Amino acid sequence: MEARRRRSSQAAAAAMGLLLFASSFWSQAAAAAVGAATELQKHVAFFDSDHDGIISFSETYNGFRALGFGVVTSELSATLINGALGPKTKPENATGSQFSIYIENIHKGVHGSDSGAYDSEGRFVHEKFDEIFTKHAKTVPDGLTSAELEEMLRANRKPNDHNGWLGASTEWETTFTLAKDKDGFLRKDTVRAVYDGSLFSKLASEKKARDRVGKGAGRGGTAGNDSGGSTTTVVSGDSDMAAAAAVPLLLLSAACFCSQPAVGGDAPATELQKHVAFFDSDHDGIISFGETYRGLRALGFGVVSSTVSATFINGDIGPKTRPEHAEGSWFSIYVENIHKGIHGSDTGAFDSEGRFVSEKFDEIFTKHAKTVPDGLTSDELDEMLHANAHTEHKDGSGWLQAATEWRTTYEIAKDKDDFLRKDTLRAFYDGSIFSKLASEND
């Protein structure tokens, strides 16, 4: 059991580091195919399964599946990684998908406000890696406590570099949560194994071995789960796809929060405030990281999806909703200001105050559903995203968030005929699916 838990934590820590930012890609497999490459290029080559120098959405997804992660985590990770890094690494005259990552330009995805263990060209900097521990590991020389990690993040933070701060906080906080040892330390050798990529081929080989053993015992192998090798699944039974599809709408922006349990307290609340109140378990108007995490767990999600989602949700929305003189954590979401987290380049089904706009929701289908009136195909979804993109305002962040939510929702929630149905989508917006899922998982 302990060995399984350790494998799960290692795999989870590896996956967390892969999310959103190029400084988090690792693996040594297929490095020879890259030639005189930087260490970062060698690491990212793990996902370039056909060795053409381009990592497609499906290659990232398949890489995660090869490491033992389930459909939800793999779809989510591939969407975030390729959605964030694709546009940054795409050559000027390239005609391929915006979701394709070009290895030659992977260094362009490195973010600021981090340790500097990868330099601006993607080369590994040993001195900067060692400084993580020589400067901040004060309790033991080879491990970081939670407080020491927070100190490091604050020390590395560059002024006005909000994206870099969010990226660094997301990677480090999530890695700590999932990879700390039984004494509460994030050990140096664990972090080094993440940076140098040594975990990946090992984890992929272990996954293959477990699958062979499972088949030999008549279990048919593992179907993939949310914890990188443990037997815990995200959800089970008929609620699997519904629950899985809910996660993308919870990620990155306030418009993704949905649920109907009672708001309590003062009215009138906007529909978005009512939805987000599902996570405010103590009804104090503030949603902590722990409350978001527990809310996702109550819906049936595993440790990895719940931790990743809570980190992105609270890390992104917390600072936006925080009152000017508030003294609480930056990872706390203030319900009264939840409308400030709504992003651009989306459908407008929530207005700037968080009110639901039925006409805008209906337009999703009246304008773009051309094959059947109550469902979107993959091509129609892409058409909608392009139509909503505010290119004239260079709203790259809004486009990425909208693309992340919609592509992941489509991939996970489409029906057997490959349509994203209107009634399914409406259930997410009005929150009706959430109380149902929570009840089913009691």
Q: pLDDT value at position 255?
A: 34
Q: pLDDT value at position 266?
A: 52
User: In the beta sheet, which residues pair with residue 54?
Assistant: 102
Q: pLDDT value at position 361?
A: 93
Q: Give me Rg for the CA atoms of the chain.
A: 21
Structure tokens at 255: 């418009």
102, pLDDT greater than 80: yes
182, pLDDT greater than 70: yes
Average pLDDT, the chain: 74
| Highest-confidence segment of 165-174, 188-197, 219-228, 366-375 | 366-375
| Highest-confidence segment of 127-141, 158-172, 301-315, 398-412 | 127-141
Q: How far is CA 152 from CA 116, 156, 365, in A?
A: 12, 6, 48
Q: pLDDT value at position 162?
A: 67
Residues written for the chain: 442
117, pLDDT greater than 50: yes
Distance CA(232)–CA(210), nearest Å, equals 15
Mean pLDDT of the 68-73 span: 72
380, pLDDT greater than 80: yes
Mean pLDDT of the 285-294 span: 90
Structure tokens at 52: 């053409």
Structure tokens at 403: 């693309």
What percentage of the chain has pLDDT greater than the value 70? Answer: 68
Helix, strand and coil in the chain, % to nearest 5: 60, 5, 35
| Highest-confidence segment of 20-29, 183-192, 236-245 | 183-192
Q: pLDDT value at position 170?
A: 67
Residue linked to tokens 């330009």:
105
- Of 368, 292, 285, residue with least CA distance to 328: 285
How is residue 284 annotated by DSSP? S
Q: Which of 48-57, 104-113, 424-433 has the lowest mean pLDDT?
A: 424-433
Distance CA(163)–CA(111), nearest Å, equals 8
Confidence of residue 362 (pLDDT cuts 50, 70, 90): very high
What percentage of the chain has pLDDT greater than the value 90? Answer: 19
Q: How far is CA 128 from CA 39, 171, 194, 238, in A?
A: 15, 17, 15, 48
Mean pLDDT of the 332-353 span: 82
276, pLDDT greater than 60: yes
Provide the whole-model pTM. 0.55
Where is 386: in which H helix or E strand?
A: helix 378-388
Confidence of residue 251 (pLDDT cuts 50, 70, 90): very low
248, pLDDT greater than 70: no
Q: Which of 14-28, 64-78, 89-103, 132-146 has the lowest mean pLDDT?
A: 14-28
**What is the per-residue DSSP string for 289-331?**
HHHHHHHHHHTT--HHHHHHHHHHHHHHHHHHH--TT--S-TT
233, pLDDT greater than 70: no
> SS3 for 124?
strand
Q: pLDDT value at position 108?
A: 85
How is residue 158 annotated by DSSP? P
> SS3 for 251?
coil
Pairing of strands 143-144, 101-102: unpaired
Cβ atoms of residues 73 and 232 within 8 Å:
no
419, pLDDT greater than 80: yes
265, pLDDT greater than 60: no
Residue ranges of domains in the chain: 2-199, 237-440
Cis omega (within 30 of 0) for bond into 159: no
Q: pLDDT value at position 217?
A: 65
Which residue type does 111 have? Answer: H
- Using the CB atoms, write b or e for 211-231: b if 16+ within 10 Å: beeeeeeeeeebebbbbbbbe
324, pLDDT greater than 80: yes
